[in-house]
Amino acid sequence: MIDVRLLRNDPQLVKAALARRGKPELLVQLDTAISLDEQVRDITARRDTIRARVNELSKLVGTARRNGDSDEAEKLQAESRSLGDDEKSLAESFETAQGQLRDVMLRLPNLPHADAPDGASDHDNPLVIGPNQMPSSFAEHQRMPHWEIADSLGILDNERAVKLSGAMFTMQRGAGAMLSRALCQYALDMNADAFEEIRPPSLVTTATLTATGQLPKFAEDAYAIERDDLWCIPTAEAPLTSMYAGEVLEESQLPLRLMAYSSCYRREAGSAGRDTRGMLRAHEFDKVEIFALSTPETADELLIELRDRAERLIAGLGLPYRIIEICTGDMGQSHHRSFDIEVYAPGCDNWLEVSSVSWFSDYQGRRADIRYRKVGEKGTHIANTLNGSALAVPRVWAAIMENFRQADGSVVIPEVLRPYMRGLEHISPKS
């Protein structure tokens, strides 16, 4: 959430920053927020004036009674009662305006970092690294889409997944299931040197999803369990962020690094008809998330560290990849600065996003009320948050199928995954 004090003190700076996102409606929302904040402050000032007068009247009533002037005392009390009615009305107006202001502020996106590239859409995202590990050409046997490869190997059974759960659910079997698990364990092990592993709940409260920015704006993309006020997590970022919600940390505890493997759930409400085959788009999938809480002074270095760690995972698999920086017009709601790692899938003939690494400045920290205290200073500061999809299983799984398919129809398992594959070095077609 944008700092309302910044909005008051430098509205033009906020307007200029939001204008870089290229969505005129955001400036309309911003003007609404400015107007509502003025209403809140005006009501507060009027309530303070009334309360001061009521306190004054209370003293005057006491003086009048001590002087035996009951008429004057009654007159003063009548004024006090009238002012009390006015204050009650103002209190109701305050609650309404404050609620409206909070709702608008929760829907406003984060301000882009000064170094974030300007652009209107994903077509304007600049290439910053790569393409790396890209062969000069691909053999014909690598041009088969992963769902056909997986079907020939008997390791993907989406037909039965649909029978169990409906459209856009997937199910891996045998070596395919082992490969999914291996990818997650590989990502966890590669980051265990600096990140504490967490196994968070898969169901979280409304407050938890609000903290990261999924709510209220993206409620349609989330799975809700309304009876219990719980939501299925769209990513482990949500519970990791709110682990320290409402807490005050010491600066010496930062940066705080966490990682988690979890199932992720997304309704994909706006994706009907797109990427419905295979593993590219599903309502449930596995992912390893790396996350950090930091001061603003160290956040930019942490962003590159998280990006480098995600890159190391993909490079270690031997997949062709590239890294792009997300432009202002393509940024997510909470993002301050962001990078995507994409792998090339020759069967799909497309670059697939497999990791997103983002810095959220104090946007999520303010929503979750995560603070830290500097040594020798009074007061507290809002913590910065960062996270990265260290490895999202479905598209990496698909890219492995297509890049490492052999002429005999088998798929070679990347060497770094073999320790997790019960001795398998390749997956062969069913006889």
Domain ranges within the chain, ordered by starting residue: 4-107, 122-427
Cβ 248 vs Cβ 378: under 8 Å: no
Section 279-297 average pLDDT: 96
Q: How confident is the model at residue 277 (pLDDT cuts 50, 70, 90)?
A: confident
- As to burial, measured by CB atoms within 10 angstroms (0-12 exposed, 13-18 middle, 19+ buried), residue 279 is buried
Mean residue pLDDT across the chain:
95
CATH match for 122-427 among 3.30.930.10, 2.40.50.100, 1.10.3720.10, 3.40.50.620: 3.30.930.10
Strands in 230-232's sheet, in edge-to-edge order, are 203-205, 230-232, 224-225
pLDDT tens digits, one per residue of 209-221: 999 999 998 999 9
Cβ 424 vs Cβ 418: under 8 Å: yes
pLDDT tens digits, one per residue of 1-60: 999 999 999 999 999 999 999 999 999 999 999 999 999 999 999 999 999 999 999 999
Measured in degrees and rounded to the nearest 5, phi and psi for residue 196 equal -80, 130
List residues bridging with 196 in a β-sheet: 258
Pairing assessment for the beta strands 196-198 and 256-265 based on DSSP bridges = parallel
Distant-in-sequence, close-in-space partners of 283: CB < 8 Å, separation ≥ 6: 165, 168, 169, 223, 265, 266, 267, 268
User: CA-to-CA distance for 138 and 134, rounded, in angstroms?
Assistant: 9
CATH annotation of 4-107: 1.10.287.40
Section 129-158 average pLDDT: 96
What HEC string does 2-39 produce?
CCHHHHHHCHHHHHHHHHCCCCHHHHHHHHHHHHHHHH
What is this structure's pTM? 0.93
